[in-house]
C-alpha cells in the first residue's frame, strides 16, 4: 500500500519516521518520485503541489496532515470522489486551546502595556477587571472552537459563539448564519477566529466587521485573535482598525501570505502579537496512529471519522 508523503514547509522526516514505525510494510515515496505515482494508494499531504493529487491513478484516500483543508480543496485537479480525512487529534485541539487562552489572557491582563512600562522602567499599576467583565466571541464552533471555550469559561469569561448551523447545549450563547453574525458581534469584546477558509469566510474579517464588536468594555476597544486562516482577514483593514482605535490589540497566527513578508507593518506594530502559524501543530506520531485507525475502518468497510464535506468546504 504505497503512500505519497508531501509536507510543504514542514520537515517530512518525523512523518516518515512515524509512518515507518507504525506502518512498516507501506513503502513511502515523495512528490519527486513521479515514476512510482502509479502505485500510490494513499496521499499523506500538507499543502501538496497543485496538480499532484490528480496524477495518482490508484489513489484511494487523501490524508490532510493539518486540520484546515483549504489548500486541497482549492486544487481543481483533485479527483472529487476520493475521500479526504483531516487532522482531528486531541494534541492539536489542546495546543490550539492553549494558544487561544494564552492570547486572551495576554490582552485581558494588559501584558502589552506592562511590557511597554517595563522597557521604560515604569512601576504603575493599571486598573484590573475580572474576566467576567468581558465576552470572548468565538467564530467557529467546531472541534477547536468548542474546546477553546472551555478553559475560558472556567476562568470566568462570558462566551459567545458563531457557527454555520445552530448549536445547542454548549453552556454559552450561540448564534449562527449571516443573521446571527450581527447580534454575535454586538455581544463580543474579544473576537477569536477559529473558522476554516471557505468561499464564505474569505475576507470576512474586514473593517466593516471589525467595527461591530462592543467597544465599551474595560479594554477600551476590540481585540482580534486569529488562529484560523490568513485568508479570512484583510490585513490593511486590521491595521486601519488598530490605527483608529477600533481595535486595541491583535494576536495573529495566520496571514494572507506566509511566511509573513519582511516588509509587513505587522512585524513592528506595538499592538500586534505574531506567531508563525504554530498555534497548533500536528504531532506526527499521534496523527499517524489516528490515520492508521481511520484507514483500518475504511478497509473494514466502516465510515471514517472527520471526513471532509466538499459541499460545505471543510
Ligand atoms: P471544524 O470543521 O471542526 O469546525 C469549523 C467550524 O466553523 C464549525 O463550527 C462550522 O460551523 C464553522 N463554520 C464554517 N463555515 C462557516 C460559515 N460560513 N459561517 C459560520 N460558521 C462557519 O474545524 P476545526 O475546529 O477543527 O478547525 C477550524 C480551523 O482552524 C481549520 O479549518 C484551520 O483553518 C484552523 N487551524 C489552524 C491551526 C493553526 O495552527 N493556526 C491549526 C489547526 C486548525 P458548523 O458547526 O455549523 O459546521
Ligand atoms: C492547520 C494546521 O490547519 O496546522 O493550520 O493543522
Angle, in degrees to the nearest 10, between helices 111-119 and 90-108: 60
pTM: 0.97
Task: Round to whole Å and give the CA distance between 137 and 79.
Answer: 37
* Residue 45, pLDDT score: 98
First to last CA, the chain: 27
Single out the catalytic residue among 109, 164, 277, 297.
277
Fold match between domain 2-89+282-299 and domain 92-274: yes
pLDDT in tens, 9-63: 999 999 999 999 999 999 999 999 999 999 999 999 999 999 999 999 999 999 9
Ligand nearest to the CA of 231: 1
CB contact at 8 A, 5 and 19: yes
Task: Round to whole Å and give the CA distance between 259 and 124.
Answer: 37
Nearest atom in ligand 1 to the alpha carbon of residue 227 is 41
Nearest Cα neighbor of 29 from 55, 66, 68, 50 is 55
Sequence-distant (6+) residues with CB within 8 A of 252 are 224, 225, 226, 230, 233, 238, 266, 272, 273, 274, 275
Ligand 1 mean position to 309 CA, how many Å? Answer: 12
CB contact at 8 A, 234 and 224: no
Residues with CB under 6 A from ligand 2: 66-68, 87, 92, 280, 282
Task: Round to whole Å and give the CA distance between 75 and 78.
Answer: 6
Largest CA distance in the chain: 67
Q: What SS3 state is found at 198?
A: coil
Nearest Cα neighbor of 19 from 280, 297, 299, 290 is 290
Full pLDDT tens readout for the chain, 314 residues = 899 999 999 999 999 999 999 999 999 999 999 999 999 999 999 999 999 999 999 999 999 999 999 999 999 999 999 999 999 999 999 999 999 999 999 999 999 999 999 999 999 999 999 999 999 999 999 999 999 999 999 999 999 999 999 999 999 999 999 999 999 999 999 999 999 999 999 999 999 999 999 999 999 999 999 999 999 999 999 999 999 999 999 999 999 999 999 999 999 999 999 999 999 999 999 999 999 999 999 999 999 999 999 999 99
Q: Is 176 a catalytic residue?
A: no
Give the count of alpha carbons within 13 A of 309, CB side only.
3
* Residue 39, pLDDT score: 98
CB contact at 8 A, 143 and 93: yes
Q: Is 277 a catalytic residue?
A: yes
CATH number belonging to domain 2-89+282-299? 3.40.50.720
Q: Ligand 1, residues 163, 200, 279, 282: which to mutate, most atoms within 8 A of Cβ?
A: 163
Task: Round to whole Å and give the CA distance between 178 and 171.
Answer: 22
Strand order in the sheet with 40-46: 28-29, 2-7, 40-46, 61-64, 84-85
Question: Domain-by-domain residue ranges, the chain?
Answer: 2-89+282-299, 92-274
If one counts every other C-beta atom within 10 angstroms of the C-beta of residue 132, the result is: 10
Nearest Cα neighbor of 47 from 14, 17, 92, 87 is 87
* Residue 121, pLDDT score: 98
Cβ burial, residue 23 (10 Å; 0-12/13-18/19+): middle
Angle, in degrees to the nearest 10, between helices 13-22 and 284-299: 50
CATH architecture of the domain 92-274 equals: 3-Layer(aba) Sandwich (3.40)
pLDDT in tens, 136-163: 999 999 999 999 999 999 999 999 999 9
Omega prior to 259 cis, within 30 of 0: yes
Ligand 2 mean position to 44 CA, how many Å? Answer: 14
Ligand 1 mean position to 110 CA, how many Å? Answer: 28
Q: Ligand 2, residues 44, 46, 65, 67: which to mutate, most atoms within 8 A of Cβ?
A: 67
Ligand nearest to the CA of 64: 2
Residues with CB under 6 A from ligand 1: 66-68, 88, 92, 96, 140-145, 162-165, 194-198, 200-201, 227-229, 253-254, 277, 279-280, 314
Single out the catalytic residue among 25, 229, 298, 310.
229
Q: Ligand 2, residues 66, 70, 193, 253: which to mutate, most atoms within 8 A of Cβ?
A: 66
Ligand nearest to the CA of 287: 2
Amino acid at each position: 500500500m504505497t503512500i505519497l508523503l508531501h509536507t510543504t514547509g514542514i520537515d517530512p522526516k518525523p512523518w516518515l519516521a512515524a509512518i515507518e514505525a507504525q506502518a512498516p510494510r507501506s513503502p513511502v515515496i515523495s512528490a519527486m518520485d513521479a515514476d512510482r505515482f502509479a502505485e500510490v494508494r494513499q496521499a499523506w499531504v500538507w499543502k501538496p503541489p497543485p496538480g499532484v493529487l490528480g496524477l495518482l491513478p490508484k489513489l484511494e484516500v487523501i490524508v490532510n496532515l493539518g486540520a484546515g483543508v483549504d489548500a486541497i480543496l482549492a486544487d481543481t485537479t483533485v479527483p472529487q470522489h476520493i475521500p479526504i480525512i483531516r487532522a482531528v487529534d486531541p494534541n492539536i485541539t489542546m495546543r490550539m486551546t492553549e494558544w487561544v487562552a494564552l492570547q486572551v489572557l495576554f490582552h485581558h491582563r494588559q501584558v502589552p502595556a506592562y511590557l511597554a512600562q517595563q522597557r521604560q522602567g515604569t512601576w504603575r499599576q493599571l486598573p484590573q477587571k475580572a474576566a467576567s467583565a468581558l465576552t470572548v466571541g468565538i467564530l467557529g464552533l467546531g472541534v477547536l472552537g468548542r474546546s477553546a471555550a472551555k478553559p475560558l469559561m472556567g476562568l470566568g469569561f462570558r462566551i459567545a459563539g458563531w457557527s454555520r448551523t445552530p448549536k445547542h447545549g454548549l453552556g454559552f450563547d450561540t448564534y449562527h448564519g449571516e443573521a446571527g453574525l450581527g447580534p454575535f458581534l454586538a455581544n463580543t469584546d474579544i473576537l477569536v477566529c477559529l473558522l476554516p477558509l471557505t468561499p464564505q469566510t474569505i475576507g470576512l474579517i474586514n473593517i466593516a466587521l471589525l467595527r461591530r464588536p462592543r467597544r465599551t468594555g474595560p479594554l477600551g476597544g476590540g481585540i482580534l485573535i486569529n488562529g484560523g486562516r490568513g485568508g479570512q482577514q484583510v490585513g490593511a483593514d486590521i491595521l486601519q482598525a488598530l490605527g483608529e482605535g477600533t481595535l486595541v490589540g491583535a494576536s495573529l497566527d495566520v496571514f494572507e501570505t506566509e511566511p509573513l513578508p519582511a516588509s509587513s507593518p505587522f512585524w513592528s506594530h506595538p499592538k500586534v502579537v505574531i506567531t508563525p502559524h504554530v498555534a497548533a501543530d500536528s504531532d506526527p506520531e499521534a496523527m499517524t496512529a489516528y490515520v492508521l485507525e481511520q484507514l483500518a475502518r475504511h478497509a473494514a468497510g466502516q465510515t471514517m471519522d472527520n471526513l471532509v464535506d466538499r459541499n460545505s468546504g471543510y
